[in-house]
Structure 1
C-alpha cells in the first residue's frame, strides 16, 4: 500500500512540476518575448510606406519639418515611458491619443495618426506601451496596467496642447483592449469618446483561444497556473484584465470596429463588448477585413466613419 501511495504522490508532484514549467513557458512566450524582435522603430517607417503608401508624403513632411517629436514621462514605479506627438496643422483643442497593439510600437500606429492629423486636423499623441518601442517595462501588460499609463498620457496631451483639449482615445488590437480598459476608469473631462478596433474581451479569453489553436491544449490547468504566476510576478491576473468588465462601466460614446475575417481576435468577441457598453455607441463590422487591417483595406470608409462618430463629441473647431 505504501508503494502505491508513494507512486501516487510522485505522479502528483511530477504533474505539478510539468504544469509549473508549462506556465512559466507560457508567461515567457506571451509576455516577455525577445525585445530585439519588438524593436520595430527602425524598420517601421519603411513598413508604413509599403503598407500605406498614401501617407508617405505626410511622413516625409513631418520628418523634414521636425513636426513629429518625442516626449517621455516617468511612471510612479520609475519606468521611463515614451511617446510621439505632433501639433495639428492649425491650432485646435481637438486631440487624439492613439494606442498600438501587441508587439507593435507608436511608429507603427502613424497611419491612424495620419487619419487624425492630416485628414481631421487633430493634435496627436502616440505612446509606446511598456516593453514596446522606446518605453521601459519588464513585461507586456496586455493593456491592464497600461490603462493607467494611458491615463497619464491623456493628461500629458492636455497639457502639451494647451489645456482644455477635447480628446478621443483610439486603439487597435491590444491597444483597443487598453482603450476599453481606460474607458471604465474615472476620466478627466477632456476625454470625450473612444474608438476601439478589434480588441479582445479579456486576456483570459484571448490566451485560451491561442492556447487551443497554437498548442491544442485546454485552459485547465495550464492557463490557471499561468494566470496565478502572472499575479505573483507582475501583479495582475488574466481574468482581471477584462475589457468586457471595464467597457460595461464606460459612460462615454464608443465606436466599435472589427473585421469579419478576423481570426486572431475572433469577430465574435466584439458582440458581447458592444452589448455590454451602455449609452451612445456604434458598431461597424468590416467585410473581408482580417485582424487590424480595416483601415488598410478601406481607408476612405474608415476615415469617414471615424470622423462622423468622433466629430459628434469632439466638435469641429
Structure 2
C-alpha cells in the first residue's frame, strides 16, 4: 500500500511538472514568439511596407520632407513608455483615426491603413505601437487585453493633440474656422481588431467614457484569446484545450494579471452600442471566419458586416484596396462629419 501511494505521489508530481513546463512553454511561445523581433526592426518594417504597397513610399517621403510624420511618447498607468507615429491632416480637421496593428507587427506595418485615412480621407492619424512592439516598452505580447487600456489612453492623447486645432469649414461660398474636439474612429486589424473590440466595451462604461469616439472598424479580430489559442493548439500540435491551455492561462494570470478567458472581444462588443464595421476574409484560417459571425451577432445595432471573398487573414485591404477604402469611407462618413 505504501509503495502504491509513493508511486502515485511521484506520478502526480511528474505530471504536474510536465504540465507546468508545457504551460510555460506555451505561454512563452504565444506571448514571446521568436518573430516578435520583426516588430522591433523599424528599417525592415519600412522596406516590407514599401515593397508590398509601392504607393506608400512617395507619400511617406513627402511627409518626412515636411516633418509631418512624427514620433510621440506617453507613459501608461503601469509606468511603461509607449510610442506612436502621428500625422496631421493636410488641412486642419477634427476627423481622426487611431489605427491598431496586429500580432508581431508595429505602427509602420499599418501605414497602408494610415494612407487610407490620411491621404485619401484627409484624417489626422495616430498609429500606436502596442506593448512590446515597435518602439514601445514591454517584453511580452498582451493580446489586446491590457492593450485596450493603452489604446484608450492613446485616444485621449489624440483628442488633446488634434482637438486643439481649429477646423477649416466650407459652407457654400464661405470658409471659416471652428474650434472643436475630435471625432474619432478606432480601426484595428487582427490582434489590433480584437484590441479595438476590447476597447469598444469600455468607452460607454466605467471610468473610460470618451464621447469623441464615434465608431469602430474591426478587421479579422478573434472572439477571445482562449478561442484563438485553443484553435492554434489544435492546428499546430493536434492537442485539446484541456489541460495545457488551462495551465497556460493560469500561469498568464500569475505573471501578467490577466487570463485567456477574460480577454474576450465577444464579451466586450456585447456592451458596445456605438457603430461597428466588421470585416473578415472568407479564406481566413488563422482567425477562422466563423468568429466574425459570433461577434457580429453579439454586437447591438448599429453594425455592418463585409465578408471578403477569397481573402486570407489580414489580406482584405491588400486584395481589394479600392473597395476596402470605399466601404470604410461610406461607413465612417455616417458617424464622423
- TM-score range (shorter-chain normalised) is over 0.9
Q: In structure 1, how many angstroms separate the alpha carbons of the residues matched to 2:310 and 2:301?
A: 28
* Cα distance in 2 for residues equivalent to 1:276 and 1:77: 31
Q: Does 1:128 align with 2:139?
A: no
2:153 matches 1:152: yes
Give me the whole-angstrom Cα distance separating, in 2, the residues matched to 1:141 and 1:162. 29
Structure 1 outlier segments of 4+, above 2 Å: 33-38
Alpha carbons 2:222, 2:287 under 8 Å: kept: yes
Secondary structure class of the residue paired with 2:251: helix
Q: Report the equivalent of 2:303.
A: 281
Q: Determine helix, strand or coil for the equivalent of 2:250.
A: helix
Partner of 2:198: 181
TM-superposed deviation, 1:38: 2.9
Matched, 1:169 2:186: yes
Aligned residue in 2 for 1:4 = 4
Deviations 1:291-312 (A, max 9, x none): 0010011000000000000110
CA apart distance, 1:138:
3.0
**Among residues 244, 257, 262, which one is paired with 1:240 in the alignment?**
262
| In 1: Cα distance, 2:56 partner to 2:84 partner | 20
What CA distance in whole angstroms lies between the structure 1 residues aligned with 2:48 and 2:190? 18
- 1: distance between equivalents of 2:56 and 2:89? 16
CA-based RMSD of the aligned residues comes to 1.0
Aligned to 2:168: none
Distance 2:140 2:79 in 1: 15
Query: 2:38·2:105 contact (CA, 8 Å) conserved in 1?
Result: no
Q: TM-score scaled to structure 2, two decimals? A: 0.92
* Aligned ranges 1:226-305 → 2 under 5 Å: 226-305=248-327
SS in 2 for 1:238: coil
Superposition deviation, residue 251 in structure 1? 0.9
Name the structure 1 match of 2:328. 306
> How many aligned positions are there?
315
- CA–CA distance in 2 between the matches of 1:234 and 1:215? 25
Secondary structure, in 3 states, of the residue corresponding to 1:199?
coil
In 2, distance between residues paired with 1:248 and 1:125? 26
Pairwise CA distance, 1:33: 2.7
Residue matched to 1:27: 27
| Partner of residue 142, structure 1 | 143
CA contact (8 A) 1:260 1:288 kept: yes
Question: Aligned to 1:190, which of 202, 209, 212?
Answer: 212
Where in structure 1 are there 5+ consecutive unaligned residues?
Answer: none
Secondary structure class of the residue paired with 1:180: helix
Report the secondary structure of 2:71's partner residue.
Answer: strand
Structure 2 gaps of 5+ residues are 165-180, 204-208
